[in-house]
Structure formats: C-alpha cells, structure tokens
Amino acid sequence: MSQNLPRAARNYLEQLRRALDFLSENERKQVLEQTREEIRSLPGGGRRKRELMNLLGDPAMRALKFERTEPEELEVSSGNYFLTRILAWPIFALSLLTIVVVLFSPPQDAEVGQQAALSVLGHWGGWLSDLETLVGSQLIWLAFVPAVFSLLPLWTHGATSMVLRVLGAVLMSVVCLSGGSALALYFIPVTILLWAQVFTPLLMMRGSMARPDPGWMITAAILLAAAIIFAAVAGLNDFAGSGWMIIAPCAVLVVLGILLPFRWRIAHIALVVAGLLVIVAGYVASLPDAYGATLIWPWLAGGLSFAAGHLAVAADMWHDRARKLLALF
C-alpha cells in the first residue's frame, strides 16, 4: 500500500495518478501498482525525490509511455489512387521543366531536327516539323499537353481516369514517333512517365507486396545505360569543350542506372537528382556565351535518368506502404 512508502514516493505516485487521467480506472491502478513495485525495488526505497526522478523519470513523462498509440494512418481505400498520386506530381514537375526548356532553349536546337532527330526517329513523315514551319513558335504550346494529362487522373476515377491516362500517353507517343522534329525528342522522357502512369497501377495492384521483378530492373538498367551512352556519343560529335565534361556526368548516370536492380533507395534518389543536374548543366552549356552545345542530348540523358529513378522510388514507396498495411493485421 502507498502508506508504507516514504513521502517522496507517495507524492510521486500521486503526480503520476493525475497524469494518467487518459486511462480508465482499472488501467490506472495497474500502472500505479507496477510503478509502486519498481519503487520498492529501488536501492533507497524511494526516500528521495532526486532518486525517483533519476531512475523513474518525471511523472508526466512516465505517463506518456502508457498513452494509447494508434496504428499509423494510411490511405487504405485505394492503392490505385496512391500509385497515381506518387506518379502524377513528378510527371507534372518534369512536364513544367519540359515547357521551360522548349520555351527558352537556344535557337541552335532547331537545326537538330534536320541533322539528328530524323536519323533517330526515322522518316515517319515529319508532320510535326511541317506543322512547326506552318504555325511557327505557337507550336511550343504543345508542351503543356503532358502537364495537363499528368494531373487529370488525380481528379477523375475509374474508367474515366484510365481513359485520360491512355489518351495522354498515346497523344504524346504520336508526337514522339512521327514528329520528325527536334521538338519531338524533348517529349520522350515525359511520354515514358505518362505510360508508366497507365501501367504501373495495373501491375503493382496484382499483389499487396508486388514489386518489379529483377529481370525488369536489369532490363531497365541496360536500356537506360544504352540511351545515356548514345546521348553522350551524339553530344561529343559537336561539342567544342573538353570531352570529359560530357563523359564524366554520363558515367555517373550509367553507374547509378546499373544500381537499379539492387533496390537501394538512396541510389534511386541520387539518379533522379543527377538527371536534373545534367539537364541544368546541359542547358548552361547550350548557351551561346558558353559552348553552344546541342541541348537535346543532355536533356535525353538527364530526363531518362529522372524517369527511371522516379519509377524506382515509386516502387519502393509502394512496397513500404504494403509492409505497413500488413503490419496492421
């Protein structure tokens, strides 16, 4: 009983009892009895306040240890919406970056449409190039299309959301594959992400712990490395500066891309950041006062790295969410 305890111990228990007002009477009694036994086992038997504070802690802080903790709140109603959301905003961000680059890229890139873009995409008609000649600079407003379609699935649901996602991906695919213009090449990274917004929820929702198979990750790493090497070689052909200014950042992107199958989140985030930095560096190098380099090649290397890294991060986030959900049961 408390009467058998020293005054300092009785005062401590009384303060603890008041701090436990969020518990029921029975729960409070159990906590107080447990604390009382701990006090009796102390070397000094709880005679000194300092001893109690040092060994048991402040009564208010001790009471917090017994506060009920609810499981972490998770949006369990729609895994599809969760995946759509974590994909939509980065796609929107890349779309805005695409808009900025298309609007303000140096005019020298217009020559790429005749020198390199057609050789990459093939002579598919070049309707975008013809349209660019017809309507002039107004065609750059096409860059706003992926920005709009990336966010529409956030405010639509069910079949409507899927139709809009497919429509946006198909529209930008047509632009990329049959454009025949340098402008079309700028949309390749965001188009890949738009298709990911279509298929990722479908693939990941197959199982609560669904993750990309190692084979998919290895294939993605190989394709990304090949694309980066291709962009580096193409960029070196007409670059006036030191070749290492292109080789070094591309080597970093290739190494980070090769790490994709290891599922290291820090490496995935580093790939996203490195991709953005390569885009910025390429833009600076393309300025007439700098090297006048062709912007499209660092844009493709950086943009594709951003896309691959972001999809890997999204897969990790989905897996972590699934683990937390399973922990609730």
Identify the pLDDT of residue 224.
Answer: 94
Burial-class residue 48 by CB neighbours within 10 Å (0-12, 13-18, 19+): middle
End-to-end CA distance of the chain: 40
Query: Averaged over 14-19, what is the pLDDT?
Result: 87
At what angle are helices 79-104 and 144-155 packed, to 10 degrees? 160
pLDDT greater than 80 at residue 102: no
pLDDT (average), residues 30-34: 85
Residue boundaries of the structural domains of the chain: 2-64, 80-327
Q: What is the pLDDT at residue 181? A: 59
C-alpha 198/C-alpha 135 separation (Å) is 32
Q: Is the pLDDT of residue 260 over 70?
A: yes
pLDDT tens digit string along 175-231? 777 655 567 788 889 899 899 888 877 776 665 445 667 888 899 999 999 999 999
Q: How confident is the model at residue 98 (pLDDT cuts 50, 70, 90)?
A: confident
Give residue 136's pLDDT band: very low, low, confident or very high (50, 70, 90).
very low
The span from the CA of 78 to the CA of 80, in Å, is 5
Mean pLDDT of all residues in 102-118: 51
> pTM here?
0.65
**What CA–CA distance (Å, rounded) separates 93 from 314?**
15
Q: At what angle do helices 244-258 and 296-327 cross, to 10 degrees?
A: 20
